[in-house]
Homo-oligomer: A and B are copies of this chain.
Amino acid sequence: MKRVVIVGMGFGGLRAARTLAGKGLDVMLLDRQNYHLFQPLLYQVATAALEQESIAYPIRAMTRHWEGVSFRMAEVIGADFEKKQLFTREGQIDFDYLIVAAGSVTNFFGQATIEQHAYDLKKLGHAVELRNRILTLFEKASREKDPARRRACLTFIIVGGGPTGVEFAGSLQELIRYVLTKDYPELSIGETRIILVEATDRLLAPFPENLRRYTLERLRRMGVEVLLNTRVNGADGKEVFIADGTIIPACTLFWSAGVAAAPLAAAFDIPKAANGRIPVQPDLTLAGHPDVFIVGDMAYLEQDGAPLPMVAPVAMQQGEYAGRAILAKRLDRPVPPFRYRDKGSMATIGRSSAVAMAFGRTFSGFAAWFVWLALHLMYLVGFRNRILVLLNWAFYYFFHERQVRLITEEQGKTK
């Protein structure tokens, strides 16, 4: 039986696995984690709106229903594409077909002090860490007598005006306004600051002008300070340095101003494109290796003169395409080149407030927010997770309550 190995169980790998399950192939899934993570909701874990478990789904809970599919928790560290061998920390795995879908990491663009001090949101642990950080700073501020130090505790600088930066800024502001002000009567809301810093002159760059304007106005009305045409170029854990020389005392810096292909890409001896991505053929294979597919954030492919964006819908469509391509190749059927169908984009700003574009139209406000909500519930894996997330959202919507505001201890002694 031919073996397909899929590396990474994000959106791309998951779709590929689903497509290949029960098709008479030996499908082996590899991931460093034992769960599929719904990354688009990480910012809600970071802002105490969801428990981490509700956006993760055990991979084996899926594979047990999929014929011919097995899972191995392992970290891939390299490959020999000629010999069709994959190297993991736990040993070597042979493959007939390979789909690499290891995703991306945050790109700090080599700025060491930022990488050292900034928080980012790519893993489940990051989100929990950030939530613990925010809540710990509120506890610290409630004990702090010095107004300047207290203000630094309560100043949050968010870099990057893309969807992650906008969604995190909006959600954090709501957490503070609606929940933490009631928790900390000893603090004044006027002492908290959320500053969203964007290097260009616009938020949500790929969106049309009316939605960009809506987003900017909405965030400012919520009390988020938005600094456009501004760059952050350093941090020391207590202060954040702006490129024009301004220094903002702030204990928390959040970075969402860039992504790069996962470090695994660097382990492959192939020339890279921008952001460390791996250039692929129109059928998503590596040049000279028609049985090796790269999909999702790791793959670099241009369409209509522009590189495909590093977003979930591209990864999903590419994962499914790679799965189908392998099935077609086995039957010696030709495979048409991959083509991304952009079904739309959306970002949520706050309660009852979002922007969306789809079907050539734009939506904002409650309607966009409601569609955002429904789509995210739909793409979440697992019936129980959907119920949990829906319950959490309902509690927040009706009672303005976010109960996951726990500072969970470090996981202590490792045995």
Contact = CB atoms under 8 A, between A and B. Distances in A.
Query: What is the count of identical protomers in the complex?
Result: 2
Interface residues of A, number: 63
Interface in A38-74: 51-54, 56-58, 60-61, 63-64, 70, 72-74
A403 B60 CA distance: 10
A280 to B, nearest CB: 29
Interface stretch (A18-26, A125-133, A222-230): A125-133
A415 B250 CA distance: 13
Nearest to A90: B143
A35 to B, nearest CB: 5
Contact of A34 (B391, B403, B407): B407
B409 A124 contact: yes
Among A70, A237, A382, A415, which residue has the most Cβ atoms of chain B within 10 A?
A: A415
Interface in A155-192: 182-186
Contacts of A384: 391-392, 395, 401, 403
A412 interface: yes
Nearest to A48: B58
A213 interface: no
Contacts of A367: none
A237 B125 contact: no
Contact of A124 (B53, B90, B408): B408
A220 interface: no
A26 to B, nearest CB: 13
Given A53-B404, A64-B182, A384-B395, A409 B119 contact: no
Judged by DSSP, the binding face of A is: mixed
Contacts of A392: 384
A139 B73 contact: yes
Nearest to A404: B53
Contacts of A63: 183
Contact of A58 (B129, B385, B405): B405
28 contacts: A33-B407, A33-B409, A34-B405, A34-B406, A35-B406, A52-B53, A53-B403, A53-B406, A56-B406, A56-B408, A58-B183, A61-B401, A64-B183, A64-B185, A70-B186, A72-B142, A116-B415, A117-B415, A124-B409, A125-B412, A382-B403, A384-B392, A384-B395, A384-B403, A385-B403, A388-B391, A410-B411, A411-B411
Given A53-B403, A119-B415, 10 more contacts: A35-B407, A53-B404, A58-B183, A58-B405, A60-B184, A61-B183, A61-B401, A61-B403, A123-B409, A124-B408
